[in-house]
Every structure is written in structure tokens, then in C-alpha cells.
């Protein structure tokens, strides 16, 4: 039986419910992102003083950094209703028109993964954001007529993991853009202690430090690992969230001391043992580990690049010296990591312009 089949729908719903319960409700409860919080607070309070809807807000950053949570906080701080949708769910301009035409005045519309919205809907959104109007097309062909329809003033909160994929006309219509950075271990420890308190499972300082160090700078991962440590402590341990139980739980769930999980290590193992460290194209690498190319590129690769284990070169992905050391594998004499290190140094390990052969 596959792992996914062994998890019941009820368990998935319960995980989502618990994750929702751990979200902070107001800005003062939100840990980390200090500059973003200060900027956002100014935007919201200024709008409240003028008794107007705030400017549209764009939040960019990796998955799990708190974009959805901040959207919920924005609505709560404004005392306004929140409507949640996503870019992939809006396939036609009519889908967007149906959402916009039912918005109440001052309502907050949250569009997750806004860069994946269909182009016709995107063009309709330009007018809606700027003029609070949508043009509904009636009929087809030469006889088609565009009927302007006023909509209530609203605040759009867009979230994206790929800000570079947003067209300039859409980016320019946001009055405030917030970039979400990865969290420091100390910030993750504060988040873990808060979450542990809400779960009714007090967390040792050393255990919190251990979990935070393996959480890849991401609160969502930190909270997920915390719940797995709690499960282990309740079932196989003494019920206490101690360092020993944290070590044992994280080893069981294959999360190593630097936060690499099964997929990360599989990618590095294949890259080094099968392809002699690279370079190798994304699609070939994905097939070799049995995953979709998008999963490798979006889920695993950003962390591996940011941590210095992987470099993206014009010829493909290459393992760095740090990766060989961490995996305990001796590189062959002709390993290509010298070129990879040069690319990593030149690009600040960002690798965003590397080709995908």
C-alpha cells in the first residue's frame, strides 16, 4: 500500500484543522518578518484613518513563510470579510467576474499563486484593481458588446512563490509589495514554543532548538515537525517533548540535522552516484528520483541551492563540494563541482537564471 493511501481523508482534515489553529490571528502575534510587519501595519492603519480600503498588497516568498496567514491577519485587522481563491482556480475571465461582482465594500480578496492565473482573467483584473470595474462581454463575434459593471472597492492580497513570473502591468498595480524571507532559528524557536503551548505539549528548550535547526527556515515545516515529535513522544516515548524524543522522531521521519529529507538526499545521491556530480538536466534528475520535474524544482531545489548543496549552471544541476561532504561520498577526480562553485559564487547561490536542459 502506498503511503498516501494509508492516510485517511479524516486525518488530512484534522491536520489542516490543527495547522489553522496554530496560525496567529493579529499582527502582534505574528513572529518574524519584522520589517514586513512594520510596513504592513503602517499601510493598514493609514487606510483605517482615512476610512478607505488599503492599497492592493502583493506578498512574495517561498511556500510556508506565512503569506496566507498574513492575508487572514490583514482582514482581521481591518474587520473586513475575507474571500479566498487561487490563480489556478480562475481559468476564465468569467470566473473572476463572478468573484469580483459579489464582493462587499472593503472586503479582502486573497488570491494565492496569483502568477498562475489565466491571461484573460489577468487582463480583467487590471481594470478591477485600478478602476473597480469589470467589463462583461455579451455576445460573440462582431456583435459582441462590453458592458461596464461597477464593483465595490476592495483590497486584493496576492501571494506568489514566483514574483518574476508576474507581468509588469500586474505588479505595478499593487501599492505595497512584501518579500517574505526565511526565518532565523531563534524566530522558529519562538514559533515552536507558541505552537506547543496551543497544542498543550510544553516543549523543552533543547528540543525546540533541535526542531528549529531542521526546519529549513520555514514555520510551516517547523510546526509539522513539532506535531510529529509530539506523536512520537505520546506513542513511543514518555509523553514529554524532550531532546531525546525529538532526535528519535526526526530520525524516524528521515529529516537529518541540516533539514534534508528523503527527497533531498535522493536527489543528491542520484546526482553524485549516477551522474558523477553532474551537470544533469532537471527532467532527467526528476525521472531518476521518481518525481515530477515541478516537484524537484519548486519543493527541493530552492533549499538545496540556498544551503549550498546544489548549483544551477547553463548545462544543468551540479553537486557542490559541500554536498559530497555532507553525503559522505568521495567525489571522482573529474567531478564538475569546481564549475558549480564558480557559478554559485557569481550568482550568490541564487541560480535563478540557470537553464533547464
CA 174 to the chain's CA centroid? 20
For residue 296, the 8-state DSSP code is I
Known catalytic membership, residue 28: no
Cβ atoms 160, 139 nearer than 8 A: no
Q: Which residue among the candidates 112, 160, 173, 216 is catalytic per the annotation? A: 112
List Cα–Cα distances, 14 to 7, 21, 202, 223, in angstroms.
11, 10, 21, 14
Per DSSP, the residues of 124-193 read HHHHHHHHSEEEEEESSGGG-EEEEEE----EEEEEES-GGGS-HHHHTT-SEEEEPPPPPHHHHHHHHH
Known catalytic membership, residue 356: no
Q: Which residue among the candidates 67, 216, 227, 230 is catalytic per the annotation? A: 67
Known catalytic membership, residue 68: yes
Q: What does residue 177 show for φ and ψ, rounded to 5 degrees?
A: -120, 125
Rg of the chain over all Cα atoms, to the nearest angstrom: 23
Distance CA 159, CA 59 (A): 5
Known catalytic membership, residue 69: no
Pairing state between β 316-319 and 310-313: antiparallel
Calculated CA dihedral for residues 291, 293, 298, 299, nearest 10 degrees: 10
Known catalytic membership, residue 140: no
Distance CA 330, CA 108 (A): 54
Q: Which residue among the candidates 173, 214, 220, 312 is catalytic per the annotation? A: 220
Distance CA 222, CA 238 (A): 21
Q: Which residue among the candidates 68, 155, 218, 313 is catalytic per the annotation? A: 68
> What cell does 331 get?
567525489
Distance CA 221, CA 204 (A): 18
Q: Which residue among the candidates 69, 160, 161, 320 is catalytic per the annotation? A: 161
Pairing state between β 316-319 and 108-112: unpaired
In terms of Cα–Cα distance, which of 64, 109, 54, 65 is closest to 86?
Answer: 109
- Please give the positions annotated as active site: 67-68, 112, 161, 220
Amino acid at each position: 500500500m502506498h503511503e498516501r493511501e494509508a492516510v485517511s481523508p479524516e486525518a488530512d482534515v484534522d491536520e489542516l484543522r490543527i495547522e489553522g489553529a496554530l496560525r496567529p490571528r493579529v499582527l502582534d502575534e505574528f513572529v518574524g518578518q519584522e520589517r514586513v510587519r512594520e510596513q504592513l501595519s503602517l499601510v493598514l492603519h493609514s487606510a483605517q484613518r482615512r476610512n478607505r480600503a488599503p492599497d492592493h498588497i502583493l506578498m512574495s516568498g517561498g511556500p510556508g513563510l506565512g503569506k496566507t496567514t498574513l492575508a487572514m491577519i490583514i482582514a482581521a485587522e481591518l474587520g473586513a470579510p475575507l474571500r479566498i481563491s487561487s490563480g489556478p482556480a480562475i481559468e476564465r475571465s468569467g470566473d473572476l467576474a463572478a468573484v469580483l461582482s459579489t464582493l462587499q465594500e472593503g472586503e479582502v480578496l486573497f488570491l494565492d499563486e496569483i502568477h498562475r492565473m489565466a491571461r484573460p482573467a489577468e487582463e480583467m483584473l487590471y481594470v478591477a484593481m485600478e478602476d473597480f470595474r469589470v467589463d462583461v462581454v455579451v455576445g460573440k463575434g462582431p456583435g459582441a458588446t462590453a458592458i461596464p459593471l461597477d464593483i465595490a472597492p476592495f483590497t486584493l492580497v496576492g501571494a506568489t512563490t514566483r514574483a518574476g513570473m508576474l507581468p509588469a502591468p500586474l505588479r505595478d498595480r499593487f501599492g505595497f509589495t512584501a518579500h517574505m524571507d526565511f526565518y532565523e532559528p531563534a524566530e522558529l524557536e519562538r514559533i515552536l514554543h507558541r505552537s506547543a503551548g496551543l497544542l498543550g505539549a510544553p516543549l523543552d528548550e533543547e528540543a525546540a532548538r533541535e526542531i528549529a535547526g531542521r526546519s529549513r527556515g520555514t514555520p510551516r515545516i517547523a510546526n509539522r515537525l513539532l506535531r510529529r515529535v509530539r506523536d512520537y513522544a505520546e506513542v513511543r516515548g514518555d509523553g514529554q517533548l524532550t531532546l531525546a524524543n525529538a532526535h528519535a522522531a526526526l530520525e524516524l521521519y528521515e529529516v537529518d540535522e541540516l533539514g534534508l529529507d528523503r527527497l533531498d538526499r535522493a536527489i543528491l545521491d542520484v546526482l553524485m552516484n549516477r551522474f558523477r556530480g553532474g551537470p544533469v538536466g532537471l527532467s532527467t534528475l526528476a525521472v531518476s528520483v521518481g518525481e515530477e520535474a515541478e516537484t524537484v524544482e519548486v519543493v527541493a531545489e530552492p533549499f538545496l541551492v540556498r544551503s549550498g548543496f546544489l548549483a544551477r549552471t547553463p548545462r544543468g544541476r551540479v553537486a557542490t563540494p559541500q554536498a559530497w561532504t555532507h553525503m559522505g561520498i568521495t567525489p571522482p577526480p573529474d567531478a564538475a563541482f569546481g564549475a558549480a562553485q564558480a557559478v554559485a559564487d557569481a550568482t550568490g547561490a541564487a541560480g535563478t537564471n540557470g537553464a533547464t536542459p
